[in-house]
Amino acid sequence: MTDTNKTSAASAMWGGRFAGGPAAIMQRINASIDFDKRLYAQDIRGSKAHCRMLVRQAILTEADGAAILTGLDKVLAEIEAGDFPFSAALEDIHMNVEARLAEIIGEPAGRLHTARSRNDQVATDFRLWVRDAMDGMDTALKGLIAALLDRADEHAATVMPGFTHLQAAQPVTFGHHMMAYVEMIGRDRGRLADARKRLNESPLGSAALAGTSFPTDRHSTAAELGFDRPMRNSLDGVSDRDFALEFLSACSICAIHLSRLAEELVIWTSAQFRFVKLSDAFTTGSSIMPQKRNPDAAELIRAKTGRVIGDLTALLLVMKGLPLAYSKDMQDDKEPVFEAADTMELAIAAMTGMIGDMTVNTAVLHAAAGAGFTTATDIADWCVRALKMPFRRAHHVAGSLVKLAEDKGIGLEDLTLAEMQAIEPGITEDARAVLTVESSVASRTSFGGTAPIRVKEAVAAARAALAGAG
Q: Which one of 177, 286, 395, 446 is the catalytic residue?
A: 286
Q: CA–CA separation, 407 vs 384, rounded Å?
A: 25
Cα–Cα distance measured from residue 257 to residue 265, given in angstroms and rounded to the nearest whole number: 13
How many beta carbons lie within 10 A of that of residue 62, not counting itself? 10
**CB-CB contact of 241 with 233 (8 Å):** no
Helical ranges in 106-205 per DSSP H: 118-154, 174-199
Q: How far apart are CA 154 and CA 159, in angstroms?
A: 12
How many helices (H) and strands (E) are present in the chain, helices listed first?
19, 6
3 state SS of 230: strand
Question: How many Cα atoms are found within 13 Å in the side-chain-facing hemisphere of 89?
Answer: 17
Rounded distance, CA 388 to CA 306, Å? 51
9 cis-preceded (ω within 30 degrees of 0):
no
Task: Specify the amino acid at residue 462.
Answer: A
- Residues 133 and 77: their CA atoms lie apart, in Å, by 22
165, 213, 287, 446: the active-site residue? 165
CB atoms within 10 A of CB 35: 16
Helix (H, G, I), strand (E, B) or coil at 425: coil
Residue 314: count of CB within 10 angstroms of its CB:
18
163-188 burial, b if ≥16 CB within 10 A, otherwise e? beeeebebbbbbbbbbbbbbebbbeb
439 labelled catalytic = no
Is 286 designated active site? yes
Separation CA 88–CA 68 (nearest Å): 23
Q: Which residues are catalytic?
A: 165, 286
